[in-house]
Structure 1
Amino acid sequence: MNNAYSNFSMLILEGFVVQTEVGFVLFFSVLAAYVFIVIGNVTLFLMVTFNRRLHAPMYVMLCNMTVCDLMGSSAVLPRMISDFLNDIKLISYEACFIQAFCIHFYSAAAHLILTAMAFDRYVAICDPLRYSTIMTNKTLVKLCSMAWGVSFTLIFILFALVLKLPRCRSQIRHVYCSNGNLFLLSCADTTVNTVFAVFVSNFLTAVSLCAIFWTYAKILITCLFKTFSNSKSKAIHTCSTHLAVYVLFESSPLFSIIALQFPNITPNAIKAMGVLTIAIPPCLNPIIYGISTKEIRDNVARYFKKKAVRSRWK
């Protein structure tokens, strides 16, 4: 054990410092949340994949979002669930690095996928007659490829810089690994890493915020000054669903930022806020899209209706 710590190949996750009874409550709560995330997002993904009527650009992007949500939640929650059962929470540096990479990749990709979905809604409402010629399969592939490709490139560079840092500590003061936690393992100057991390974060937020603000401003103008048909009304309904998901995704990290401004908030509460920023969007996205999107509701209803009919005949 001492040898493992001496070269820092193994790290200690601080985790939640709670009593055993509270630990069991947290264990079952996180387990239930993760099971719900997997069932909800996998159901949504399969529903779109195997139903040709849902192969429209909006739903294909929604599939990309479910994959993104599963990646982000799976990077954190399963490991956290197992840690509740261990007094000493050890993680290898390699596993910690991969976990941090997946978390940041999830966040970056989610920003750009939501931006691509906003563009789709903009074309559907503001230029519906040209929608089929603009949002072709080729355009769809380009948008999705750019969302994943740009995100991967930025996060790859971010973590390539982390690999250059020498390590002189072995404790992660959180329940999961992140880019900032990896900085703190080093005693070297991390100015370059910090500057680039701030650039990546602000760049992704600025791009998504400006793009979505512009598209929704144009959509609002279109709704106010143009007569719109049933198809436009349907698109606006879907647009409001997308906006709700974006607001949810952007507002979740504010809990952690606000928590840091209050010195009386316990470390456990701050850690819990960090977990919620990753767990809440993947948990609620399937509900928001499932309830608000008529096509998905109808497909789920038809599926369970067929199941009920088959069970009666058995």
Structure 2
Amino acid sequence: MSHQQLKIMNSSRVSYFTLAAYDSGLLRHLFFITLICMYVVILCANVLLIVVICMNRSLHEPMYVFLCSLFVNELYGSTGLFPLLLLQILSDVHTVSRPLCFLQIFCLYTYANVEFCNLAVMSYDRYLAICCPLQYNTRMTVNRVAVLIALSWLFPFVEVAVMICLSAPLQLCGNIINKVYCDNYNVVKLACSDTSVNNIYGTIYSTVIVGGVIFSVFFTYVKILKICLSGSKQTRQKAFSTCTPHLVSLLNFCCGATFEVFQSRFDMRSVPNALRVCLSLYWITCQPLFNPFIYGLNLTKIRISCKSLLAGKM
């Protein structure tokens, strides 16, 4: 019996994964305190803005409803990462069961895809508000808002569910993932069996989500830029005040996702482990942490409503 056949026979015994990027040194307590503070800030900030938008009827407009969907997704993605991450930091044995690993992959991948879809929907909303202001209320109806939000959540959930169904049955020849969380790309790399279907689906899936979002955002902002260049000063100010937070959020997330892609696809062993861990976490933590402040500080209605709620006047 060949060595490869023996590895395939033993692959059925892989019932857990080892997350090998954790540092068991003295700094882990500092990392734990830092991350738990980040998690508390994320929970408080996003819950506050969700409550503000839900309670204040003046914020029941499409732009703020889409923001509420975005903040709900930040809570969802953070919950898929932080509890297990904090437990693993304090643990001496960094293992996770196979079902729990795939559950975390599902949560993190759906979070990332819902984030992209939400940002694309928000760019379309800004395009209608700035380029077609007279038709905005007739085109962005309650039903259309509900459909756009439903699609931005359902489509990623279906796509990621199919990806998990392709990855979960794979025969694995190892169980070491060189990260601090479970990642589908690294699981597929451990496979002994044929992964061509996974690779083809992953390519199509990435192209549809990333390519679709980039195209829609580029198209809408080209149109917005044309209106701003030919419009009045008031139009430019309105576009600047409402589009700047969205663009900052989009660029922030794209930078984090780019860091993650580079780390997964290229040899990064020359980079210090602590830096690699920070880069791999940035794409998951950057949006939930920064978005509440990006939108809360830049959008006047939200800022005023937050002050009123905290002062007990709402």
TM-score by length of 1: 0.90
Which string of whole-angstrom CA distances, capped at 9 and with x for unpartnered residues, describes residues 78-98 of structure 1?
111111111002211111001
Which string of whole-angstrom CA distances, capped at 9 and with x for unpartnered residues, describes residues 24-69 of structure 1?
1111111111111111111111111111111100111111111111
Deviation at 1:235, TM superposition (A): 4.6
Residue 98 of structure 1 corresponds to 103
The one-letter code matched in structure 2 to 1:165 is L
Map residues 18-97 of structure 1 onto 2, 5 A cutoff.
Answer: 18-19=24-25, 21-97=26-102
Do structure 1's residue 248 and structure 2's residue 252 form an aligned pair? yes
Which string of whole-angstrom CA distances, capped at 9 and with x for unpartnered residues, describes residues 275-304 of structure 1?
111111110000100000100110111123
User: Gapped runs of 5+ residues in structure 2?
Assistant: 1-10
Deviation at 1:257, TM superposition (A): 4.4
Residue 137 of structure 1 corresponds to 142
Deviation at 1:9, TM superposition (A): 2.1
User: Gapped runs of 5+ residues in structure 1?
Assistant: 308-314
Deviation at 1:152, TM superposition (A): 1.3
Residue 274 of structure 1 corresponds to 280
Do 2:69 and 2:118's aligned partners in 1 also have CA atoms closer than 8 Å?
yes
> How far apart in 2 are the matches of 1:263 and 1:299?
48
Report the CA distance shift for 1:292/1:32 in structure 2 as closer, same or farther (over 3 A). same
> How far apart in 2 are the matches of 1:10 and 1:91?
6
Residue 297 of structure 2 corresponds to 291
Do 2:16 and 2:96's aligned partners in 1 also have CA atoms closer than 8 Å?
yes
Do 1:241 and 1:292's aligned partners in 2 also have CA atoms closer than 8 Å?
yes
Which secondary structure does the structure 2 equivalent of 1:16 belong to?
Answer: coil
Do 2:24 and 2:92's aligned partners in 1 also have CA atoms closer than 8 Å?
no
Match of 1:149 among 154, 166, 191: 154
Report the CA distance shift for 1:280/1:290 in structure 2 as closer, same or farther (over 3 A). same
Deviation at 1:23, TM superposition (A): 0.5
> How far apart in 1 are the matches of 2:63 and 2:176?
43
Which secondary structure does the structure 1 equivalent of 2:246 belong to?
Answer: helix
> How far apart in 2 are the matches of 1:267 and 1:188?
30
Do 1:112 and 1:208's aligned partners in 2 also have CA atoms closer than 8 Å?
yes
Which secondary structure does the structure 2 equivalent of 1:306 belong to?
Answer: coil
The one-letter code matched in structure 2 to 1:129 is L
Do 1:72 and 1:106's aligned partners in 2 also have CA atoms closer than 8 Å?
yes
The one-letter code matched in structure 2 to 1:85 is L
Residue 193 of structure 2 corresponds to 188
Deviation at 1:73, TM superposition (A): 1.5
> How far apart in 1 are the matches of 2:81 and 2:44?
17
Q: What is the aligned residue count?
A: 301
Which secondary structure does the structure 2 equivalent of 1:186 belong to?
Answer: coil
Do 1:172 and 1:181's aligned partners in 2 also have CA atoms closer than 8 Å?
yes
Aligned-residue sequence identity (percent) comes to 31
Do 1:125 and 1:236's aligned partners in 2 also have CA atoms closer than 8 Å?
no
Report the CA distance shift for 1:16/1:281 in structure 2 as closer, same or farther (over 3 A). same
Report the CA distance shift for 1:184/1:264 in structure 2 as closer, same or farther (over 3 A). same
Residue 311 of structure 1 corresponds to none
Which string of whole-angstrom CA distances, capped at 9 and with x for unpartnered residues, describes residues 102-147 of structure 1?
1110111111110000000000000101111011001101111111
Do 2:52 and 2:302's aligned partners in 1 also have CA atoms closer than 8 Å?
yes
Do 2:127 and 2:223's aligned partners in 1 also have CA atoms closer than 8 Å?
yes
Match of 1:13 among 19, 23, 29: 19
Do 2:62 and 2:140's aligned partners in 1 also have CA atoms closer than 8 Å?
yes
Which secondary structure does the structure 2 equivalent of 1:104 belong to?
Answer: helix
Which secondary structure does the structure 1 equivalent of 2:311 belong to?
Answer: helix
TM-score by length of 2: 0.90
The CA RMSD measured in Å over matched residues stands at: 1.9
Deviation at 1:6, TM superposition (A): 7.5
Report the CA distance shift for 1:97/1:263 in structure 2 as closer, same or farther (over 3 A). closer
Do 1:158 and 1:196's aligned partners in 2 also have CA atoms closer than 8 Å?
yes
> How far apart in 1 are the matches of 2:212 and 2:12?
43
> How far apart in 2 are the matches of 1:221 and 1:106?
33
